[in-house]
Structure 1
Amino acid sequence: MMFLCVVEVLRAIMIFDNNSACLYTAIFGGYEKLNELEGEAKKSKIRKICFTDDNELTSETWEIRVVKPVFPLDSVRSQRMVKVNPHHFLSDFKSSLYIDNTVRLLVDPALLIEEFCSYGNITLPMHSYRESVYEEFFEVAQTGLDDSARVFEQLNHYQVICPESLHRKPYWAGMILRNHMESDVIEIMEEWYRQILRYSRRDQLSLVYSEMMTGNNIRKLVIDSHESSFHQWPITNSRDFSKRSWSSSLSGAMPIFEKIKTVKAAERDLEEKIRRLAKMGEEIADTYKPSMIPEGFDPELYLALNKDVAAAGADAVKHYLRHGWREGRRWH
């Protein structure tokens, strides 16, 4: 990345002293502890805001703004409301850099905003280890990060409406640079949040679709999602995954994968029991298998009494010794 010259840096500082841009994050549901800013990010003159639903949260480096969660039992979508819609929560600023709580900035965020927001209204990094949105869908479903029934409903709908969105490389939404009060950005963000409300809460599944459906372009940043010259990720702090993972109990449903696995497991158990019983029956029957034809056995009478055997053209004696005695066939 080419950094700003001295004149541009001074201009950026003047702009940010006038509160036209900010750095922000959002942490809801007591999922993890807030990471404090360090180094150049901590020293920056830019406003640094953390949105939360925790009335007790304090910070040495973040300005805390408490927000009532829109969904008290869904902290993820409540967090997404702030993450995706800065035009509702930061209308006193023109530009912003959003970072997930697990992202550590290594440079002054003011420089990043000036660098990227000068050339495009919205910039996101590309996902560095997922090749397609389609692949991301299956990763979410297989790891149980959301209700698989909802995930596959979303996938099926996208396949019908905009299949191209599934074949594109997904964005990594841990960092978002935006001139968030611009109309094209607002249009993408509102469409994005509608998708998150209607379908999966995993926002990376729906951003490419939202971009394509609105016809507004996102500037693509190619970096390693885990580390670049200006960030590191993930930097976790006392995470409680039980508060973050999707819960079938709260939805009142069992994930479709679990239903399928349960049904198939029951079917396999039943089939195995039938096989064991059949084998047991054969073993018992073989123990008592007659070594010779019963005295007084009349082949013609046997065929007359067992018309299906006669119709099949079977030999009466051989049939009786192989099958008839076990099946309880009449012979006298």
Structure 2
Amino acid sequence: MPPELFLPTFIRDAEISLPLHSFRETVREEFYAVLQHGFDRAERVREQLHHMTTHQPEVLTQQPYWTAILARQHGPSMQDAMTDWMFHVLRHSRRDQLSVNAILNRSSLTVNALALDNFTSEYHTWLGVKKDEKILKDRSFIYPLSDDIRDRWLTSRAHGKTVGARRRLRAATSRGKA
């Protein structure tokens, strides 16, 4: 669907519009799901959860936003909030949906929370479902990686130290999967 058809519905009178997560009831539940499925390093996620429990406990009981789709009106307040969000993602978990509620709570932005199913709606079909299932099953990649990203992945601290990770990526690359 062309953006000009759905953006007016998304934005309305708000400065930012994004869907609520359709199958998580609380931000705390989203933290637990990220930990359970190993979507990010556990120590990073636990540290962020502790920080939020200490400084913004009310956020943990909110329904999380789903950040795959969002529309925003640019301005100084939006720039400040998006910069804070980026710093949160760089400092804590890379799972941006763990921090977006906290950032929007602290900001003065008006939010339009949309009730959309995460997997499919009149505006989208989430193409990541099969990819996520495959990654969870065998931790391999099913989409090609650029040489630059593959090389950085091979030499990164998180993945480059283990021989097993290098072998798996090289094997996937030689099979044409990465």
TM-score in terms of structure 2 length: 0.71
Match in the other structure for 2:30: 136
> Offset at 1:235?
5.0
Counterpart Cα distance in 2 of 1:236 and 1:141: 19
State which of 19, 22, 44 in structure 2 corresponds to 1:150: 44
Q: Secondary structure, in 3 states, of the residue corresponding to 2:70?
A: strand
Match in the other structure for 2:91: 198
Q: Does 1:162 align with 2:45?
A: no
Counterpart Cα distance in 2 of 1:222 and 1:133: 16
Q: Which has the higher strand share?
A: 1
Counterpart Cα distance in 2 of 1:235 and 1:197: 23
> Offset at 1:251?
3.2
Larger radius of gyration: 1
Q: Does 1:251 align with 2:141?
A: no
Q: Does 1:232 align with 2:139?
A: no
Which amino acid in the other structure matches residue 35 of structure 2?
A: A
State which of 207, 210, 213 in structure 1 corresponds to 2:100: 207
> Offset at 1:214?
2.2
> Offset at 1:197?
0.6
Q: Secondary structure, in 3 states, of the residue corresponding to 2:71?
A: strand
Runs of at least 5 residues in structure 2 that lack an aligned partner in the other structure: 146-152, 160-178
Which amino acid in the other structure matches residue 138 of structure 1?
A: Y
> Offset at 1:124?
0.1
Counterpart Cα distance in 2 of 1:157 and 1:217: 25
Match in the other structure for 1:261: none
The aligned length equals 143
Calculate the aligned-residue CA RMSD, in Å: 2.6
Q: Secondary structure, in 3 states, of the residue corresponding to 1:124?
A: strand
Matches within 5 A, 1:34-45: none
Counterpart Cα distance in 1 of 2:126 and 2:67: 12
Runs of at least 5 residues in structure 1 that lack an aligned partner in the other structure: 1-106, 253-332
The change in CA–CA distance for 1:213 and 1:109 in structure 2 (over 3 A counts) is same
TM-score in terms of structure 1 length: 0.40
Q: Percent identity?
A: 35
Q: Does 1:126 align with 2:20?
A: yes
Q: Secondary structure, in 3 states, of the residue corresponding to 1:146?
A: coil
Which amino acid in the other structure matches residue 46 of structure 2?
A: F
Match in the other structure for 1:114: 8
Counterpart Cα distance in 2 of 1:154 and 1:237: 28
